[in-house]
Structure 1
């Protein structure tokens, strides 16, 4: 009876976590801080849990790209797409070749780093916004150097991914992209494409636990719809603080668990 209760509790936790993850991703990001640990709680091996979580949350990114397609910079597409494809596939392949115990010991560090990245993203976003409001002479970015700067970021997205979005925006800004809507749309495209390549790799290699994936995918979609209705009504700094605290608490838990 205790075992049955525990199993049902884990399913309830996965449902709630997926719903909350969808809301978080729609409002501020960082949904993986909740949904990934919930997948681990189901007893899924760490590497497969990360792969399954990536597949479950990816459809929400696709809808974001569709909504922002008018703001994409066509001249940047070759560099961004090439880096996203190569980085996403290579990150996914390296993940699948990582030993389970090694990845489990990396989990708290990955969560902590992602939380810190997310924490400083607010300051970087404000800098980018001020930069976009200041008149500049628009220059075409050097596409080859941009590719090599984006490649390790997209590799990280394919491997784990949380907290990488603002790194893409920062790289683009440093290469001369000034307009905020263009920065955001290119960020969403790079993250979506990198994760799509990772998704294809995970599916092809049989790393996805589908019955958990479909549950998480459906609930995250519902959460994403709900979150989108309130995204503009809640202070972004408050949301970011909640996400960072959540990520740090999850990191602390896994430091304790694997320590």
Structure 2
């Protein structure tokens, strides 16, 4: 790896950490950067999943004041781990082409769910109107689906989690974003373990990108706490739409 490659990966990691903390989709910065420095697609995807993990941890630290009590989150962690393992094993065991065609529609669908959150809540019911058991099932289902997606592909994981959780949780968007950061960190740690053991990780690329995502992740999380809810929601919807259209274009070409 020469100096220009290292500089490209460093800049990509810093930007990705910030974007992941604010809205999600930072992998669409680091993944193409790894492709640009010469990594094949699967090693680039695997190495990217490992490299962005520190940024998720930094995002958790930056948004810790908005997290609910640990007891309220404890039941979501096992679901996240199991879902992530399933997604990561799917990545290692199946052809990526079919999923690449589905991913753009998942991202665009999740973005639409967030954009039209209020009308959808009127249609399916507000979380506060559901029984405790119904709320639990809805939240666990959203987390499981997001974790499988995150283990397989990862890009726009934040958009997927925010959209799903915002629909089934009666919470501010800042709190939803903080929970998203924590669950993304769990996804990141799980994929790190799975891919470190079984995946073709390029550790040189990881060593450059990971520290940069750490800085960007913390800065992005602090920024989220200062943004009005309508601005944060608009940014996530714009990010999600852009990412979904980009992935669709890439899948069809």
| TM-score band, normalised by shorter chain | 0.7 to 0.9
Please give the residue correspondences for 1:105-116 in structure 2 after superposition, counting only pairs within 5 Å: 107=100, 110=103, 112-113=104-105, 115-116=107-108
Please give the residue correspondences for 1:67-106 in structure 2 after superposition, counting only pairs within 5 Å: 67-68=63-64, 70-72=67-69, 74-75=71-72, 77-78=74-75, 80-98=76-94, 102-103=95-96
| Cα pair 1:72 1:185 within 8 Å, conserved | no
| Cα pair 1:23 1:228 within 8 Å, conserved | yes
Q: TM-score, normalised by structure 1?
A: 0.73
Please give the residue correspondences for 1:135-214 in structure 2 after superposition, counting only pairs within 5 Å: 136=128, 139-142=131-134, 143=136, 146-169=139-162, 171-172=164-165, 177-180=169-172, 183-214=176-207
CA change 1:30–1:169 in 2 (3 A) is: closer
CA shift digits 1:206-237 (9 cap, x unpaired): 43211001101122223334445655369432
| Cα pair 1:40 1:49 within 8 Å, conserved | yes
CA shift digits 1:84-128 (9 cap, x unpaired): 111111111111123xxx436754763x34652564365156679
Q: Which moved more, 1:57-66 or 1:80-89?
A: 57-66
Say which of 237, 241, 244 aligns to 2:238. Answer: 241
Give the aligned partner of residue 115 of structure 2: 123
SS in 1 for 2:52: helix
CA shift digits 1:110-153 (9 cap, x unpaired): 3x3465256436515667999xxx99468423445654553233
Q: Which moved more, 1:116-125 or 1:56-65?
A: 116-125
1:174 to partner: Cα distance:
5.7
* 1:52 equivalent in alignment to 2:26: no
SS in 2 for 1:178: coil
Give the aligned partner of residue 62 of structure 1: 57
State the distance in 2 between where 1:137 and 1:123 align.
21
CA change 1:45–1:114 in 2 (3 A) is: farther
State the distance in 1 between where 2:145 and 2:69 align.
21
| Cα pair 1:72 1:182 within 8 Å, conserved | no
CA shift digits 1:155-200 (9 cap, x unpaired): 111111233445445555665x312255444333332212221111
| Long gaps (5+) in structure 2 | none
* 1:30 equivalent in alignment to 2:25: yes
Give the aligned partner of residue 41 of structure 1: 36
1:37 to partner: Cα distance:
1.0
Equivalent residue pairs, number: 243
| Cα pair 2:22 2:236 within 8 Å, conserved | yes
SS in 2 for 1:35: helix
